[in-house]
A and B are shown apart, each in its own frame.
Chain A
Amino acid sequence: MSLIKKYIMLDCKEATYLVSLKEENKLSFSKYLKLELHLAICAVCKRFEIQTIHFCNLATQLPFKTENKMSEEKKTAIKKILEEA
């Protein structure tokens, strides 16, 4: 059992780390298999993978979803700078 643990099983910390490498196809074949095996039997890490992919995909839209605006003073200041440039 300890040999299996050593050579085949990943722990959760490493599995969650490798999930990001998988996303960019940066895993060796053996690491890939180990990760898939772990994700097949560890529901918590599988959940981590699904959730992180989900919110990272949504993140692309973040700049367009915030309501931060530039101050009117700054806009006036920039207009002035451009006129004088």
Chain B
Amino acid sequence: MENNYQLVPEKWIDNYADALYAFCFVRVNNHNLAEDLVQETFLSAWKAREKYNATATEKNWLYAICKNKIIDQYRKNKSHLVLEETEETETYFDNENHWKSEKQPKDWGLNGQTNLEQKEFYQILSKCKLKLKELQQQVFVLKYIDEIESEQICKILGISTSNYWVLIHRSKLQLRNCLEKNWLKI
């Protein structure tokens, strides 16, 4: 059974530029870089159009190319990024490694169900994410937005498993704290 997927390159920019841009921006946090990644995506897609074998929809095919561009970008970058040795967790825990009273998670009234203003939640999540260190953000994005396995993430970013867990721990502590401070006030 043959698929009828087809490429319509003349419509690519109108149909996908903004969506791919948002896809890139959340992953690289830089306007110009995100635009350039979309440009590279379209250019690679254009060059590879003869090889498109219609097993994926045009949209999924473009996203796959784009994802590879982002991962290449992360790889290119990895030598600049180092895990900082400073104990950021001291912000949250006392000498005995118990929660400092002012940093203890407060009740969000979740009860497993969310009645949160979704749009506001995402705006704040996006701002809080920007406050993370670059490597923490990349780990968080790969794990929770791209849903990639931890082993794979370590390979992409060139970090050890224990570094990975430390980064995840720190980003969760920081994001949670930031969300609590900014989002519960609304």
Interface residues, chain A, with chain B CB atoms under 8 Å away: 11-14, 16-17, 20-21, 24, 26, 44-45, 47-48, 50-52, 54-66, 68-71, 74-75, 77-79, 81-82, 85
Q: Judge if B131 is at the interface, Cβ distance under 8 Å.
A: no
Most buried by A among B106, B107, B122, B173: B122
Beyond the given A55-B175, A79-B13, could you list 15 further A-B residue pairs with CB under 8 A, ordered by the A residue number? A12-B97, A17-B165, A44-B105, A47-B106, A50-B110, A50-B112, A55-B176, A58-B125, A62-B145, A70-B18, A70-B35, A74-B17, A75-B17, A78-B42, A85-B43
Set of chain B residues within 8 Å of A51, measured between Cβ atoms: 105, 108, 110, 176
Number of interface residues of B (CB under 8 A): 58
B contact patch SS: helix
CB distance from A61 to the nearest CB of B (A): 7
Set of chain A residues within 8 Å of B175, measured between Cβ atoms: 52, 55
